[in-house]
Amino acid sequence: MTERRKIGIIGAGSMGTLFGYHLAQTCDVTVLDANYETSLAIRSDGVGVNDEPPRRVAVAAGARELFNSHMLFLFVKAVDTLRALRPFAGELNPATPIISLQNGMGNEDAIKTALGGAVPVVLGVTTESSITISPGRVRSSVTGNTLIGSASAAAATARTVADLLTRTGLRASVVYDIRPHLWGKLIANAAINALSALLDCEAGEIPKTPDAAHLAESLADEAAAVAAALKISLPFVSPWQYVTQVVEIGADSKSSMAFDLESGHPSEIDHINGAVVAFGRRTGVPTPYNDAMVRLVKAKEAQLARQRA
């Protein structure tokens, strides 16, 4: 009988819950989340997707309970990556791969800063979409696809991760160079997330509103110009057409950045639009629209913080 893999999941938000539910079908899953209510609910009732019966997973009280994981999936916000992984430094098996399907840029650097440059990092992107109904419960209406990159980790490791996800009923495949796909996701996030947060609207409203659509398209075009300057071949011809396709998948949900503003959690703006601005400066590509989004979101964060004080 084949031994069930021990899978650790850091971050039990909507995506952590969705992947945890699927992985629990064939693996022993342990989740670690900083939110006490989320941990309590999952420990009591398991994790569930749509109307399917929930599946039991273990809930860790601290990082120590994930030290023996065969794989660690990261589903925390990019701004939390370093903090979430620091307790694992010197404790995790150095051969344990860290799988990041997170938004934004800079996650690989943060992982290696926390765990050392030799740690096997598997980067990927996913079009899976889910909305949290309650702690440990999500709604997912569209089956997406997950791409796993093999350039920054051994090809065999990337294939193992993709095969593991496929056996759980998810769609997954391996690509050698994940960078074009990471930039594709960054372009979509840069075009939509901050606007959805500032307008306090669902993603699907943005293409329907001419002024918002114009801003979103300008944000996407800037990010695509930066990618071109970095000599990254994007997996699409029209940035805006790609953005609208991505929006259709999660049209009835607000961006995670909108929930960050509502909750007071630090947003990923520096890792999304801020990353476009930073790479733009490095390559000499002007990014005034993305710079404006960074300033507006930070101004909104400061305003809301004053109101909560």
Residue 153's H or E segment, with its range, is none
Structure tokens at 287: 């990014």
SS3 30: strand
Q: What is the residue whose two structure tokens read 């029209």?
A: 238
Single-letter amino acid code for the residue at 14: S
Residue 282 makes CB contacts below 8 A (sequence gap 6+) with none
Nearest of 173, 270, 251, 249 to residue 205 by alpha carbon: 251
- Whole-angstrom distance, CA of residue 163 vs CA of residue 231: 30
Q: Is 34 helix (H, G, I), strand (E, B) or coil?
A: coil
- Report residue 230 as tokens: 């970095």
- CA-CA distance, 302 to 298, in Å (whole number)? 6
- Torsion, CA 25, CA 125, CA 163, CA 109, rounded to 10: -100
Find tokens 């991505």 and name the residue.
246
Pairing between β-strand 137-139 and β-strand 131-134 as defined by DSSP bridges = antiparallel
SS3 182: helix
Considering 77, 185, 231, 254, which one is annotated as catalytic? Answer: 185
Maximum alpha-carbon separation in the chain: 59
Cα 282 to the chain's mean position, in Å? 25
What's the CA gap between 129 and 189, in Å, rounded? 13
Active site (annotated) includes residue 185:
yes
Angle formed by the axes of helices 179-199 and 288-308, nearest 10°: 50
Active site residues: 185
